[in-house]
Chain A
């Protein structure tokens, strides 16, 4: 009888153009599920400390799990795991689209890519194995062009992961596109592909992975799809732009690169319902998704911004909009398109431009440095800068080593201005508005991330009755900040290992119990929702061991200076968790079974059933 796993992964070596299957014991899946959990284990075991992320010795893993063996809602998600060129330590990033379920059908549970190709190529993975195909004709092309060309070449049903020119040029925030509609944005995994001369990974599979009880699993999936389409109707209609206005009211949305307190008039122009009115929005679905939270939009003008295609989502609207005092949705939408097509993370792009605007305002950088003025609120200039950053040209020269590198290069006290953890720029949620985010950002293994732990969602009402949380915790309760981060990191890392789209829970209202029911029908393991969430405890420990091996300790789990400054008005007036950060950090370490320096204790690793990793402690 099956359990939703093939029990084997595919290992591809680009240097000598070989591939082989490798068996994986069920015990590994039971501990880590797949995705970011399994990928972290591979990275820990197979790469050396401080491996150069852009060297052939770095590995890049595309992880999925058991959920892809049935048409489960939210199962289009996959994780990419590697060493980040930005943070130089552990990275995972997640995308959706169609790739995960399609790759699963080729007969593998994950893909490990190693080495470096001598010239540009793409991988074509099917039921019968791997073809190494030349990619000269794709090099230099955007993610959209690459996807279209490959689908023309290989058929509409193939699924395409690709990088754009940014990845080829090793821009450290290069992303990976999935069918050019969903993006694994953060931390520069696209540059790792570029360094390996790997332009794209195409999958097409037809095999059916054995599961424990297919009839029940399919029945549950069908029923859930119908149910979630109704529960998630509001989310489908409005998508993530629906939270722009409420998050601005709470003081959660970045304004003027984390120096502004309120901007209600901007939020009104950027969020729904205005978003839907001006952009002619339609929901855009990943495979097996009852919601379709991605946005298909149309901009009729001005001509330089006219486009039709993927629309910006919450993070992008906030980072390229309110963060820069830009309230022009047409400009934000065009910039989003450039980011997606050239292949960079919209979050870091927005952060970097915010930093430049602040430097310009303060007279630290001048017209001569920046090729002209870079003023708050200038949408046209922002669209230009996004392209320069994506191509590593113009102002892109400041950011070869990310925001920390830029501050070092520029000097003049700019270290005080930058907002990041471990060189990963803050996403569009403010720890001063949701205290759990402070310790969450500080300790997240990839740097400041809102999806490896999502306390901001608890501020909107996310709660887990199955885990003893009947109601969402109060967002300014500093005494519960560590607990909030702890619980939602466990669930998030479990989702990233399954691999599962958390918006199905947060946006469409699927419960942990309902997810566990599908999981049990697939695996036959008969777990409780709490046992499923517990996987996150193991996953973060494996990821943290990689951090620790890279020299990361308590000294690195810090909040940037701006987080110590409180708002004078608005939804987070007078509030910050930063003053109590050290205490919350100690509480969090204790919950995790890490020592006071943030290092997982030997007994913790053993208790979690990760004894085979003790050599890394």
Chain B
């Protein structure tokens, strides 16, 4: 199965050079938390997770074709 991970804002710094999305092949379903670890994100980033336009928690188990948006909490003020 294949999923896409798209970090936004300052989480883009965790992307490979010159890329805007990480495409990941998985042999079995994993949680978003595990997926982020596999993609090399630091453990403490506590992002807001949106999968195919819907908010999910880190324990959501990804499915083939999922597009996962990884954003920081955006409240400043």
Interface pair A461/B8, CB less than 8 Å apart: yes
CB of B48, distance to nearest CB on chain A (Å)? 4
Interface pair A460/B72, CB less than 8 Å apart: yes
Interface pair B69/A471, CB less than 8 Å apart: yes
Interface pair A293/B76, CB less than 8 Å apart: no
How many angstroms from the CA of A454 to the CA of B72 in the assembled complex? 15
Interface pair B74/A461, CB less than 8 Å apart: yes
Task: Tell me if A233 is interfacial: C-beta within 8 Å of chain B.
Answer: yes
Q: Which stretch, A20-28, A239-247, A262-270, A550-558, touches the partner chain B?
A: A239-247
Interface pair B75/A457, CB less than 8 Å apart: yes
Residues of A within 8 A of B45 (CB): 234
Interface pair A237/B10, CB less than 8 Å apart: no
Residues of A within 8 A of B77 (CB): 240, 313-315, 427-429, 450-451, 454, 456
Task: Tell me if A602 is interfacial: C-beta within 8 Å of chain B.
Answer: no
Question: Who on chain B is nearest to A459 by CB?
Answer: B9
Interface pair A235/B75, CB less than 8 Å apart: yes
Interface pair A462/B74, CB less than 8 Å apart: yes
Choose from A230, A507, A514 the contact partner of B74 (Cβ within 8 Å).
Answer: A507
Interface pair A234/B8, CB less than 8 Å apart: no
CB of A188, distance to nearest CB on chain B (Å)? 19
Interface string of A462-480 (1 = CB under 8 A from B): 1101000011100000000
Interface pair A509/B10, CB less than 8 Å apart: no
Interface centre among A238, A242, A461, A502 (most CB of B within 10 A): A461
How many angstroms from the CA of A503 to the CA of B53 in the assembled complex? 19
How many angstroms from the CA of A232 to the CA of B57 in the assembled complex? 10
* Docked complex: B2-52 residues within 8 A CB-CB of A: 6, 8-11, 45-50
Interface string of B49-77 (1 = CB under 8 A from A): 11001110100000000000101111111
- Contacts A249-B10, A460-B10 given: A240-B53 contact, CB under 8 Å? no
CB of A371, distance to nearest CB on chain B (Å)? 32
Interface centre among B45, B48, B69 (most CB of A within 10 A): B48
How many angstroms from the CA of A28 to the CA of B48 in the assembled complex? 36
Task: Tell me if A121 is interfacial: C-beta within 8 Å of chain B.
Answer: no
Interface centre among A235, A293, A458 (most CB of B within 10 A): A235
Task: Tell me if A50 is interfacial: C-beta within 8 Å of chain B.
Answer: no
Interface pair A240/B48, CB less than 8 Å apart: no
Choose from A234, A293, A465 the contact partner of B53 (Cβ within 8 Å).
Answer: A465
How many angstroms from the CA of A293 to the CA of B73 in the assembled complex? 12
Choose from A230, A231, A250, A507 the contact partner of B75 (Cβ within 8 Å).
Answer: A507
How many angstroms from the CA of A457 to the CA of B48 in the assembled complex? 13
Interface pair B10/A506, CB less than 8 Å apart: no
- Contacts A234-B46, A246-B10, A472-B9 given: A461-B76 contact, CB under 8 Å? no
Task: Tell me if A47 is interfacial: C-beta within 8 Å of chain B.
Answer: no
Choose from B6, B49, B72 the contact partner of A246 (Cβ within 8 Å).
Answer: B72
Interface pair A472/B8, CB less than 8 Å apart: yes
Choose from B11, B57, B69, B74 the contact partner of A231 (Cβ within 8 Å).
Answer: B57
Interface pair B76/A429, CB less than 8 Å apart: yes
Interface pair A509/B73, CB less than 8 Å apart: yes
Interface string of A503-542 (1 = CB under 8 A from B): 1001111110010000000000000000000000000000
Task: Tell me if A596 is interfacial: C-beta within 8 Å of chain B.
Answer: no
- Contacts A246-B10, A249-B10, A471-B69 given: A511-B55 contact, CB under 8 Å? yes
Query: Could you give 30 example pairs across A and B, Cβ below 8 Å?
Result: A230-B57, A231-B55, A234-B45, A234-B47, A235-B73, A237-B46, A240-B77, A243-B76, A246-B10, A313-B77, A427-B77, A429-B76, A429-B77, A459-B9, A460-B9, A460-B74, A461-B11, A461-B69, A462-B71, A462-B74, A470-B53, A471-B6, A471-B8, A472-B8, A503-B75, A506-B75, A507-B73, A507-B75, A509-B48, A509-B55
19 other contacts beyond A461-B71, A472-B9, with CB at 8 A cut-off?
A: A231-B48, A231-B55, A234-B46, A234-B47, A235-B73, A235-B75, A238-B46, A247-B76, A293-B75, A315-B77, A429-B76, A459-B9, A460-B74, A460-B76, A461-B69, A503-B75, A509-B49, A509-B55, A509-B73
* A residues in contact (CB < 8 Å) with B: 227, 230-235, 237-238, 240, 242-243, 246-247, 249-250, 293, 313-315, 427-429, 450-451, 454, 456-463, 465, 470-472, 502-503, 506-511, 514
